[in-house]
Structures are given as structure tokens and as C-alpha cells.
Amino acid sequence: MIFTDAFDFTSINYAEQIVGIVIAVFQAIVIAILTKFLLDQAFKDQRLIGKSLQKYGIHKVHAHKGGTLSKAGRDVCFGLDGKLMPSHLDLCFITGWGFFRDYEMKAGYLKRLLSNGCQIRVLLANPDRGHFKDWKAEDYEDPSKQETLLKYYTDLFEGREEAGSFLERSYAMLLSKKVQREPFAPVDLEVLRRHLRIEEDKTVISDSHGDHSFQVKYIQKLCHELARFADNGGKIELRFYEDEYQMPIIMATSYTDAKSRKEYEETIYLWTNMNAPIKETSESINISCYSPVDEIEEKTFVNDVQKTFEYLWNRYRKSNPMTEGSD
């Protein structure tokens, strides 16, 4: 009796309530569709870029300080943190200074690879060209020769001298914005002197590590020393290209646990980067990708880079005579 008198259910307009609900649902659907359309338009270019990269076989594009390899990349490249040791490692740089400093001079990873049977091939720019082609690595540390080097690069930057090699040109381009405000302007001699000075401790990350020619000659000596650690079929071989350099190449052949197949398969891992010639590699955008050896497709980045390396390697067959390790 109390509930019946308290509320008159016959006073509710059900049709009006249903129409209101339908309108609210319709509005929500319209807003959702409109939001999706706007988001699709906003991210359209990014999705297209992503699809293009995936189609070309590129799995990651990222920027991080410290060079081409991320922590995960280092583990795969050098067989660290439970990863299997690579059987082959192909390297292509202008000088290779940053790579060899970080992963051999400081960490000793390349010795470890060689002693465990890894075969390493290294391509660097030819140091036997240019004004100082007859200098050895130790000559660059002579104070009088450093003054000769300082005068040469001062004249080069200020337009009184012509570069004599690819290494001299690449070094001048990299250093240009650090030592002068515009082409042919007076050089900041103190900044240039600091860059040309040789740091006694080569593992220190510093501006003071000589020009590109010194760096290649120093890495050449280091490769000779590394050859002594080769064992179990491991070896290291160094060849020099002339001026075909386009990008750094770090390419490791290793085995990975293919979860879908539940077995180990041979896989090529590739790391490189994109950066302007006037920028250091440590400030670049990094690219990484991989492909099982038996599934490498013709029109993929891994395949193109692999063929590029093989072309350069076979083009310059004359190699450094320090390369054979023990079987």
C-alpha cells in the first residue's frame, strides 16, 4: 500500500526515454568514428613509414646516445648475457675508432670472439693515401709532427691546401663546424690542436685522438695484435677500400632460438645508422634488422647490405698479412 501510493509508474514516458538512449548511443558512435578518423589522419604518415620499413626488412629505428649498438644489440653481437657466440662478424667503418675503443680496448670483446672461433672481416678507408701516407701510427705522437699536422689542416680549412685523400676529406668535413664558423674562415687553433692531439689513454672518450689517418693506422696495429688471440678456427682480416663508404656496417652471423620452430637457426643480424657526415656516429639514428640465413629475400635491407659488403671485400682482395688464426 505504501509503495503503490509513493510512485505512479504510469507517469513514465517510455518512448521518450528510449529515444533519448538511442540518441546518446548514436552520438557516442559518431564521436568514436570521428575520433578514429582524426587519429588515423594524424598517424597516417607514421604508419606508412612503418609499413615501408617493415617491407624492406627493417625491424627497429631508434635514437640513443653512445653509438650504433644498444645493450640488446651488444649482447647478440658479442655473445653476452646468455646469447650464443657469433660465428662471423663483418665490420665496415671509416676508421672504426669508436667501435674498437668501446668493444675491444675497453671491454676485450673481440679477443673473446676470436679465441672462440669467430671469423672477423674488417673494412676501413685506405690510410696509404694523402699527405701523410708514409707516417706510422707512432709518428703522430711526435710533437714536431703534430705541428706539421696542425699547419696542414689549418691551411686545408682556410683554403690554402687541398685534401690528399678520402680520410683527410672526411676528417675535415666532420671537424669543420667545430673549428670555424664558415668555410675558409680563420680556424680556432686551440680547438683544432686539441682534436689533433693524441690521448695517451686510448680508451678515454675524448676529442683528442688525432685525425682519421692516425686512427686507421692505430686500428691496423690493433688488428695485428688481435690476430694472436685467434683460436679454434677464428681469424681476423683487414682490407682497405678507397672512397666507396656510405654507412657503418656491423653484421653478425649467429644462431637464435626460433620459438615458432622450437629449434636454433642461423641468422644474420645487422646494425647501422643514419647521420650527416658532419655529425658523430654517437648522435645518429640507429637501424637494426635480422633475417634467417635461409630466408633472406632479394629486396630487403639485409640482403642489400650483405651484397654491398661482399662487393667491397672482393673488390679489394689485397688484405693485411696478419690475419690467419690457428685452426
pLDDT in tens, 30-61: 777 777 666 665 555 555 555 665 665 666 66
User: For residue 234, how many other CB atoms are within 10 A of its CB?
Assistant: 22
Task: Calculate mean pLDDT across residues 141-156.
Answer: 95
Question: What percent of the chain is predicted at pLDDT more than 90?
Answer: 53
Cα→Cα distances 283→113, 202, 279, Å: 27, 21, 7
Q: Is the pLDDT of residue 62 over 50?
A: yes
Q: Is the pLDDT of residue 233 over 90?
A: yes
- 263 or 78, which is more confident? 78
Q: How confident is the model at residue 322 (pLDDT cuts 50, 70, 90)?
A: low
Q: Is the pLDDT of residue 6 over 70?
A: no
Domain ranges of the chain: 60-129+213-315, 137-207
Q: Calculate the average pLDDT of the chain.
A: 83
Q: Which of 37, 40, 100, 107 is nearest to 75 (CA)?
A: 107
Assigned C-alpha cell, 229: 688471440
Give long-range contacts, CB 8 A cutoff, 24+ apart: 127-130: 127/167, 127/213, 127/216, 127/217, 127/220, 127/240, 128/240, 129/164, 129/165, 129/166, 129/167, 129/242, 130/163, 130/164, 130/165, 130/167, 130/168, 130/213
Q: How confident is the model at residue 164 (pLDDT cuts 50, 70, 90)?
A: very high
- Which range of 22-31, 55-64, 189-198, 296-305 scores highest in mean pLDDT? It is 189-198
Q: Is the pLDDT of residue 217 over 80?
A: yes
Looking at domain 60-129+213-315, which CATH architecture does it have?
Answer: 2-Layer Sandwich (3.30)
